[in-house]
Structure 1
Amino acid sequence: MSNDFAEKDLAHIGNVLCYLEQSAVGGRVPETGPMTRLDYWQARVRAILAMPALPVHAQQQAKDLLARLDRLKALRRCATSS
């Protein structure tokens, strides 16, 4: 995977997370399917982070996305335990 593709993929994942975060905050019922599986998105981000010679700004973007995914997972746990 090239650095250009990795950066585009990170941007795409960021857009998906925006949608999922808005859905979580809005109290909407989560949709089903691969797009809502947070483990899937974490695996994609981790695969990008494992790339050799990934630019520093892309590494930081990936780490930020992982933090957002962790927060979203926590929100979902709270929503399902209430």
Structure 2
Amino acid sequence: MGYDFAERGLAHIGNVLGHLEHSADSVRAIEAGAVVGLDYWRGRVNAILAMPLLPMHIERLAKDLLARLDRL
């Protein structure tokens, strides 16, 4: 996985989290299985964090996304 691909993946995850954070029904949707579980998104972020020689800005973005996931 290249760094450009990693950045696009993190941007996508950020968009999904933004939708969940601003949706009044996000908790019900998660509980009902209407969206992929938060563990799935956490796993995708952690896979990017495991990349060798990850640029600092990508690492920071990934850690910010993990913090947002924890708040959900």
TM-score normalised according to structure 2 size = 0.87
Per the alignment, residue 77 of structure 1 pairs with: none
Q: Give RMSD over aligned pairs.
A: 1.2
Deviating beyond 3 angstroms after TM superposition, the runs of 4 or more aligned structure 1 residues are none
Aligned partners of 1:20 and 1:36 also within 8 Å: no
Aligned partners of 1:42 and 1:66 also within 8 Å: yes
Q: Quote the Cα distance in structure 2 between the aligned partners of 1:11 and 1:50.
A: 17
Aligned residues: 68
Q: Deviations over 1:50-78 (max 9, x none)?
A: 00011100000000000000000xxxxxx
Q: Which has the higher contact order (CA 8 A, sep 6+)?
A: 2
Q: Structure 2: which 5+ residue stretches go unaligned?
A: none
Q: Structure 1: which 5+ residue stretches go unaligned?
A: 73-82
